[in-house]
């Protein structure tokens, strides 16, 4: 392991551009520097950034990279906490966990271990995204190597081998669930839904063996009871978070055992979606039972989740192996009705920020569009990456981070509205 510590840099705005009071500037700067994206799907576990004040129009020459770094093959997304960035990649038979300075891209620490590439029908490499919580970083390797690191130093606090510990087989595309922290628990879908003590790695409970899925666990509450929703390659499970007891189950099979999305929970409703012409379904969960509201093939998510925003779902419909016919769609959450369709983005991914869709196309274009049900309205576009891009971009501290399958990680800054206008929108 190599370790290196860094001090946080402070960036000052030139005096000629100070159009508001010093206190407002410092307040805005602090908000930008402290904005975190600590786990897969962000702080709200919904793929939506809470940062605001971004401009709709980007420079005609495109967005300039702030820095780039090669981190190894894979599809692990990025997390950011306290100006440190974490992700994973595969290089020459080893899997790497990276900690970088989020502002400069400089290496803070890294850790590697032997691991298969598992490049079945794609480039391979890790797919799970690191989770940061309480000064610790939790990562899951392709073969089930579960680690808890000290976030600052990279010291291993505990580790587990899921195949041996849980007596589960290696999934065809490897373990891909991103760790979810609930109070003192670490939750994973790993051929069993399992709860670990986040401080020690000890198992608290686990479900019987099932065919592993490739998504993560969703946490929600009903009648003061904390519950879990998990989609594996057998079906949708509703579990008690306290002991893992199964409350409800609905079969949901994929022809190639590729269920890879995380359930979307909104009120009493739970939504799941799968590729290969399986489609989507909305359930009402009441009295411990799952009741189907609708089922159709209008949204067939292959890898990346749709995002729920103001009663509408935005997501990519179709499979990666025929990406020229994959479309970005907006559908009504409560009925499944398709409201608009947009082509020529490939099998991409998206995040929502400041009421807009931030889209990374499969070929690496970064696109900004309005998140609205009436129509698709593109606002700006910039070349961002090259090669295959299936991994969701993130926004943290006014910066966009993204990666391609080959492992090129890039950071750029999102243009903002004028400082004066942004300050007016943020009362002191």
Burial letters 169-200, b for 16+ CB under 10 A, else e: ebbebbbbbbbbbeeebbbbbbbbbbbbebee
pLDDT at 13 over 80: no
pLDDT of residue 369: 98
**What are the tens digits of pLDDT across the range 101-122?**
999 999 999 999 999 999 988 9
Q: For residue 70, which of 351, 382, 383, 405 has the smallest C-alpha distance?
A: 405
Across the beta sheet with 65-70, the strand order is 65-70, 408-413, 399-403, 394-396
- For 293-338, write each residue's pLDDT tens digit: 999 999 999 989 999 999 999 999 998 878 789 999 999 999 999 9
Residue labelled with tokens 């409560």 = 334
Section 24-34 average pLDDT: 43
Which tens digits make up the pLDDT trace of 201-259? 999 999 999 999 999 999 999 989 999 999 999 999 999 999 999 999 999 988 888 89
Identify whether the C-beta of residue 111 lies closer than 8 Å to the C-beta of residue 1: yes
Contact 232, 212 (CB under 8 A): yes
What is the distance between the alpha carbons of residues 295 and 297, in angstroms, rounded to a whole number? 7
Q: pTM value?
A: 0.90
Give the least confident one: 279-283, 378-382, 418-422.
418-422
Domains of the chain: 2-8+30-424 (2.130.10.10)
Q: Length of the chain, please?
A: 428
Averaged pLDDT, 32-56: 90
Which residues have CB under 8 Å from 116's CB, separation 6+? Answer: 124, 142, 143, 174
Residue 324: what are its φ and ψ, rounded to 5°? Answer: -65, -20
pLDDT of amino acid 256:
84
DSSP 219: E
Reduced 3-state DSSP string for 328-352: EEEEECCCCCEEEEECCCCCCEEEE
User: Residue 201's closest CA among 139, 142, 249, 253?
Assistant: 139
* Contact present, 330 and 313 (Cβ < 8 Å): yes
């Amino acid at each position: 392991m190599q370790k290196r510590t860094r001090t946080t840099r402070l960036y000052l705005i030139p005096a000629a551009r100070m159009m508001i009071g010093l206190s407002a500037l410092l307040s805005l700067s602090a908000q930008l520097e402290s904005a975190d994206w600590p786990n897969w799907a962000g702080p709200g576990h919904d793929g939506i950034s809470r940062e605001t004040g971004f401009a709709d129009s980007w420079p005609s020459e495109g967005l300039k990279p702030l820095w780039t770094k090669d981190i190894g093959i894979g599809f692990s997304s990025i997390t950011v906490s306290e100006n440190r960035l974490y992700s994973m990649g595969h290089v020459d038979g080893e899997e790497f966990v990276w900690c970088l300075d989020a502002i400069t891209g400089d290496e803070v620490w890294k850790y590697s271990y032997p691991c298969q590439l598992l490049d079945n029908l794609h480039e391979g490499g890790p797919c799970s995204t690191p989770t940061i919580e309480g000064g610790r970083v939790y990562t899951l390797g392709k073969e089930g190597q579960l680690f808890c690191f000290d976030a600052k130093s990279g010291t291993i606090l505990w580790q587990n081998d899921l195949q041996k510990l849980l007596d589960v087989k290696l999934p065809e595309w490897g373990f891909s669930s991103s760790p979810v922290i609930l109070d003192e628990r670490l939750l994973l879908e790993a051929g069993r839904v399992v709860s670990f003590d986040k401080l020690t790695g000890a198992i608290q409970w686990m479900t019987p063996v099932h065919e592993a899925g490739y998504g993560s666990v969703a946490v929600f509450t009903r009648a003061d009871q904390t519950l879990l929703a998990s989609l594996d390659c057998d079906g949708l499970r509703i579990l008690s978070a306290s002991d893992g007891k199964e409350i409800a189950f609905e079969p949901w099979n994929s022809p190639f055992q590729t269920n890879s999305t995380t359930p979307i929970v909104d009120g009493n409703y739970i939504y799941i979606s799968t590729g290969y012409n399986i489609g989507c379904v909305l359930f009402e969960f009441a009295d411990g039972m799952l009741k189907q509201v609708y089922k159709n093939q209008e949204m067939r998510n292959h890898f990346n989740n749709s995002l729920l925003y103001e009663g509408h779902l935005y997501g990519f419909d179709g499979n990666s192996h025929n990406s020229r016919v994959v479309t970005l769609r907006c559908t009504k959450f409560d009925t499944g009705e398709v409201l608009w369709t947009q082509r020529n983005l490939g099998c991409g991914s998206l995040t929502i920020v400041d009421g807009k869709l931030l889209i990374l196309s499969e070929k690496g274009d970064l696109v900004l569009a309005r998140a609205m049900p009436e129509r698709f309205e593109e606002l700006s576009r910039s070349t961002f990456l090259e090669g295959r891009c299936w991994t969701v971009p993130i926004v943290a501290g006014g910066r966009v981070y993204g990666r391609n399958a080959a492992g090129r990680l890039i950071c750029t800054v999102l243009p903002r509205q004028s400082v004066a206008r942004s300050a007016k929108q943020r009362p002191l």
